[in-house]
Amino acid sequence: MPMPWMVKLGGSLGSLNVLGDWLKALRNIPVVIVPGGGIFADAVRSAQAQWHFDDRLAHRMAILAMRQYALMLSGIESNLTLASTETLLNNKAQDQRARCWLPDPDELQGPYVEASWRVTSDSLAVWLAQRLGAKDLLLVKSISLLERRKTADALIQDGIIDPAVPDFLENLTLNMWLSGPDDHDQLVEKLARPDRHFCRVER
């Protein structure tokens, strides 16, 4: 069964109290949550800068950072289910509850996912959306956007999404949206009319 919505909770939300509000708003909605990397990914960047190991290893460590963030989310919201396989993620349609992706570094290797810092959890959220057949993907950021439409290139230039997002969006019919940190109120209604409440990412 195709998944209607996926929601990526940015790692930068980890320092904001609204992260708990987002989890409460999402827990009883049949969505898949994609974790960011947050402070755990920052630790990988710092370690690579000091020890100069290659991007392939850093990429693997950054995926493990997303797993740590997901575990933290489940610690904040005890009703959140963690799942690593597509089958388990799609089972959310059976119980009408949110599930959080535990990405597998072994799965995210190879030519289809570039092992570099061009690819972050934003791009991986698009990759998973394709695998699950999602219709809409919401990226929740720690900054608020006033625009209702903005191009992917402009968002990359502003440092809001990662540079590989357009590559992953190519040939997809996925609708991609951005929200700020305070859009968790009345979330069901907002997801029903995203054009009124979120910023659409244009190709």
Overall number of domains in the chain? 1
This prediction has a pTM of 0.95
| Predicted local confidence at residue 92, as pLDDT | 53
| Residue 161 to residue 148: CA distance in whole angstroms | 16
For residues 9-26, average pLDDT: 97
For residues 87-113, average pLDDT: 84
CATH number at residue 94: 3.40.1160.10
- What is the residue range of 157's domain? 5-202
For residues 169-189, average pLDDT: 96
Buried b (16+ CB within 10 A) or exposed e, 156-187: beeebbbbbbbebbeeeebbbbbbbbebbeeb
The per-residue pLDDT for range 45-54, each reduced to its tens digit, is: 999 999 999 9
The per-residue pLDDT for range 145-154, each reduced to its tens digit, is: 889 999 999 9
